[in-house]
Structure 1
Amino acid sequence: MGVTIKNVAKEAGVAASTVSRVISDSPQISDATKRKVRKVMEDMGFYINQNARNLVQQSTKTIGIVMKNSISESLNDPFFPEVLRGISAWCHKQDFSISLTTGDSNEEIFEDTVKMVQGKRVDGIIVLYSKQDDKVVPYLTECGFPFVVIGRPLTNAGEITYIDNDNVKAARDAAEYLIDMGHERLGFIGGSLEFEVNKYRLQGFKEAVLLNNLKLAEDYIKNPKTAESVRQAVYELMDMDNPPTGLVVTDDLIALNALIVLREKNIKVPDHVSIISFNNTQLTNFTNPTLTSVDTQIFQLGYESARCLIEEIKDPSQFKKQIIIPTIIVERKSTLPLNSRENI
């Protein structure tokens, strides 16, 4: 016969109701008592029927993750495995699982979200992006369903819990890093401006150029949406009569594509053009040259989003939080002062 709650209670010297409250992690039980009872449970080989516990609590102990793109496309971007690692780290501590949207299109991803909510498959949701004309965040807001956004929501930001970097400041710092190296002709290669992160990084870039009394040339600014359009953007920038000597690129994956095109054109980095990118993913140490990159602390973005969401699930009366994760520039081999570079 298996070990029962009564057996555990007798061994621990507490009431059976106390053991039940420990199992449900009741705040009415002190941490010392919880530790004692859990130690007895472990020693006696008593294992919680998690499914039964969740049914009683009307909880799935699962967090839904809404991907930016199809799961195959997202997981090819080194940002997403790292942010999922951060989310998983906190979920593991809280005995939560995660469930990912699997749709290939925006509509399918939205449908996955609706199924998660209406099917009561998850207790809360983390949205891994913020963008214009998004259906997911308005739907979750209207439902009153617990959720957190990674990225600053473009509307009603004060009423939503979100985790983000100060992307305006981060991009301003990145541009000024090149300006301080003597670069005055700066180019910008971003991504689709429907996404908050690209919009604010472009804003920061423009601010740095204007604050340093440099010319803000719109033809030095490119916002490609695909790998092929990144290629086109690099060709257009570097084929100009006065090409930029420094490039601010909004993420490491785009920067990798840019490096490939520059190599094809026999343009040396950083001897002919310096590049600074964003996110400081694992790619930065494997490119040639290694990439100077703004560390956005991706793991921490995920970790804090999971922490905030699970806190809200446990206590829905909490105030909405807006948490800004600091950034720092990690210098590598893709940048060089202007007076140190080779002449083209």
Structure 2
Amino acid sequence: MKRLTLEEIGQIAGVSRSTVSRVINDHPNIRPAVRQRVEDVIRQTGYQPNSAARSLASSQSRVFGLVMPSILQSAFADPYYPLVIQAISHACNKNDYTPALFLFQTSEEEEKMSQRIVASGLIDGLIITADTIHSTFVSKIQQYDIPFVQIGRPPTAHAAAISYVDVDNEAGAYLAASHLVQLGYRRIGQLATAHNTAGADRDAGFRHALADRGLAVDEALVKVSDFSEAGGYQAMLALLDEGPEAVFAQSDAIALGAVRAIRDRGLAVPEDIAVVGFDDMPLAANAEPPLTTVRQPINRTGMLAVETLIDIVKTTPAPARHIVLPVELVIRASSGAVN
């Protein structure tokens, strides 16, 4: 089927080409009856405006970029990222924006990507993840006034000036560790991450909970992992040599790796070692045993990141917005609290 032009739409509606263009780009000075007539023709003919032409006319592309962290293997080994992408994509589509995913693996690729984003002028705004976004990337997009929102709290030195959406990671870890203490465990280990603010906040919450109950953190019971199941497996193998009674894993993927390591050593969860995770991914409830974990609202995080970015794009200058969402502890069998 032949693609209609603006002139042909105008002829059918009985208006000029420029009037059709102004209706498409939501120009305010159009009489309601004329606007309705043009919109009726567009709907009846199934006309789709050329996105490039529309962008030039409106100075907006209605494209939001999502920039993913550099360690792609680790990113996609963690179920969190696919769920974030899904949530952001859904929110973009709901608000008539097109999501564009940008992936990189090295700092050199990151630098080239930032240059292409700046040079293209075809991105209305960016959503970046906190994990390994370097300050040089943030500085570049700030230098060119590209609106952006970060998922995850930035490092303290940058946090005040950057808009972000995060969950209360410290409170979540506090709930997890407190739960284990209340169940009577004393040798409580942690499988912690070392490279981002979420990991640091969860570590702080874990330590705070133990301190509030008069327990000292045994550093031999703290092992470093990335956010993957494979990382959790290796870290748990190292932790098992220290004789833990229970373990808090900073993500569900880490927790599932820990459960596998415990079983491979001939031990049982929770009879020999209790396990608590963080995220409440869909797989947590179906794990064996079902995983006690801290639920974070991933869908709402993605939605608010998009809605916040839309507000920033529409508001100039826009003050930094800081959104921190609450979390909750979901108690299942892996912690030994449920028979």
1:227–1:75 Cα change, 3 Å? closer
Q: Does 1:7 align with 2:12?
A: yes
Q: Pick the aligned partner of 1:156 from 155, 158, 171.
A: 158
Checking the alignment, whether the CA contact within 8 Å between 1:312 and 1:318 is kept in structure 2 is: yes
Q: CA deviation at 1:236?
A: 2.9
Q: CA RMSD in A?
A: 2.9
Look up the equivalent residue of 2:75 and give its one-letter code.
S
Instruction: Give the letter aligned to residue 7 of structure 1.
Output: I
**CA contact under 8 A between 2:229 and 2:255: conserved in structure 1?**
no
**Matching residue's letter, 1:190:** A
- Note the alpha carbon deviations across 1:60-98, whole angstroms, 9 max, x for none: 322111112344542332111111111111211232222
Contact 2:25 2:57 in 1 (8 A): no
Distance 1:334 1:35, change over 3 A: farther
Give per-residue Cα distances to partners, 1:162-219, cap 9 Å, x unaligned: 000111111111111222222222111011x221110110011000000111122111
Compared with structure 1, are the counterparts of its residues 31 and 77 closer, same or farther at alpha carbon in structure 2 (3 Å cutoff)? farther
**Which residue matches 2:206?**
205
Structure 1 CA distance for aligned equivalents of residues 198 and 123 of structure 2: 27
Q: Which of 178, 184, 187 is residue 186 of structure 2 equivalent to?
A: 184
Instruction: Return the offset for 1:311.
Output: 2.2
The answer to which of 310-319 and 289-298 deviates more is 310-319
Q: Which moved more, 1:307-316 or 1:264-273?
A: 307-316
Question: What is aligned with 2:272?
Answer: 272
Q: Could you say if the C-alpha distance between residues 189 and 46 of structure 1 is closer, same or farther in structure 2, counting changes exceeding 3 Å? A: same
Q: Give the paired residue count.
A: 332
For the Cα contact (< 8 Å) 1:171–1:202, is it kept in 2?
A: yes
- Whole-Å separation in 2 of the counterparts to 1:7 and 1:229: 63
Q: Which runs of 5+ in 1 are unaligned?
A: none
> CA, structure 1 residues 20+92, in 2 after alignment: closer, same or farther (shift >3 Å)?
same
| Pair 1:127–1:30, CA change in 2 (3 A) | farther
Q: Report the alpha carbon displacement of residue 27 of structure 1 after superposing the two structures with TM.
A: 6.2
Alignment check: 8 A CA contact 2:13 2:37 kept? no
Instruction: Tell whether 2:107 aligns with 1:102.
Output: no
- Whether the 8 Å CA contact 1:130–1:152 is kept in 2: the answer is no
- Give CA-to-partner distance per residue, 1:260-307, whole Å, 9 cap, x none: 111100111111111111111122134221211211111211111111
Query: Which residue matches 1:237?
Result: 239
Q: Which residue in 2 is equivalent to 1:258?
A: 258
Q: Distance in 1 between matches of 2:173 and 2:190?
A: 10
CA distance in 1, matches of 2:231, 2:324: 31
Query: Within 2, Cα distance between the matches of 1:36 and 1:238?
Result: 72
After the TM superposition, which of the residue ranges 67-76 and 295-304 deviates more from structure 2? Answer: 67-76
Matched-pair contact (CA < 8 Å) for 1:172–1:208:
yes
TM superposition shift of 1:33: 9.3
- Equivalent residue number for residue 61 of structure 1: 62
SS at match of 2:171: helix
Q: Percent sequence identity over matched residues? A: 28
1:121-169 C-alpha deviation (Å, 9 max, x unpaired): 4221111124585432232223321111001111231211100011111
